[in-house]
Amino acid sequence: MQKRSLGRGLSDLLAGSGAPQTRGVIEVDIDRLRPNPFQPRRCFDEDEVASLADSIREQGLLQPLLVRETDSGYEIVAGERRWRAARLLSLATVACLVHQMDDRQSMQVALVENLQREDLNAMEEAHAYRRLLDEFNMTQEELADQIGKSRPAVANRLRLLALPIEVQEAVEEGTLTEGHARALLALKDEPARLYQVCERAIRECLSVRQTEELARKPSVPAPEPPAEEEVTEEKEVFRKAVTERLQQALATRVSIEGRRNGAGMIKIVFHDSEELSRLVDEIAPQEDVFF
C-alpha cells in the first residue's frame, strides 16, 4: 500500500482551489495581516517565537507567509508563528504568498501545514478534525483523504474528545501524553475512576503501560464504616462513669467510642511531648531493674 504524503496533500489543496496565485509573493504591511480564525494551533510557545525571531534577525525570513486577501487586508493561512516573530522584531513588512481560497480550504491548508511541521499536539488535531467535520459537513473519509491520514487515524484522534476537559487540557499542556489519554478512554463511563487514575498517572509519573494496567483493574468498593453502637441509657451512664474515672486518674481529657459488636476505642488527649511522657508513665510505669 502506498504511503500517504502530507506534502502532496498540501500542494493538492493549493492547486485544487480553482484559483491560481493572484499576486505571487509580495511585501505586505505587517499591520494589514491578521491571524487565521481557523488556525488549529491553540497556543504558541513564547520561547519558540523568540528563538524564531533571533533566526529571522540573523538570516531574514526564509519562507514567506501564505495568506489570502480579505476586505480588511490579508488573513494568514499558514505562518502565524513567523508573523508573531516578525512583530517581535518590529518589522514593517513581511513577504507573503497570496492565494485565493475559501474558509474550508483555508482551514484545511492551515491544518496540513501544521501536521507537516508536527506542530500540533493530539488534542489540537482532534479539535481541528471536529471543526472541519461539523462546519463543512465533511465525512471522516473525506477529511482523511484531504489531510493525508488514514480514516482510523482520524477516528482515533476524534475519540480523545470524549475525555473530560481537564484531561484534554493535561494533554495540551504536555502533562499527559496521547498514549495516557488513550488508556484513560477505557474509563470514560466511570468518571470518578478516570479522574483517580489520571491524577495518579500524573502524580507518580506512570508510564503508558502502567496507566493501561491501572485502568484495567476492577474497581474495589470502599469498605463500609463499622456500625455505630446503639447507645442505651444504661450504657450511657456506664460510659460516662468510666470516662470520668479515667480522666481523674490521668488528669487529661478522655473519650470513649463504642461499636455495635461491643468493640470500641479510648481516646486520650495530650498537648505536648512532656504530657505524653507523663501519661505513658501513668499507664505503663517502667520499673527500675537492679542487678
Residues labelled catalytic: 80
Three-state SS letters, 23-53: CCEEEEEHHHEECCCCCCCCCCCHHHHHHHH
String of DSSP letters for 123-187: HHHHHHHHHHHHHTT--HHHHHHHHT--HHHHHHHHHGGGS-HHHHHHHHHTSS-HHHHHHHGGG
Distances (CA, A) of 40 to 108, 151, 224: 10, 19, 49
> Which are the contacts of 231, defined by CB distance < 8 A and separation ≥ 6?
239, 258
Block residue for cell numbers 459537513 = 137
Helix or strand (DSSP H, E) at 272: none
Block residue for cell numbers 528563538 = 51
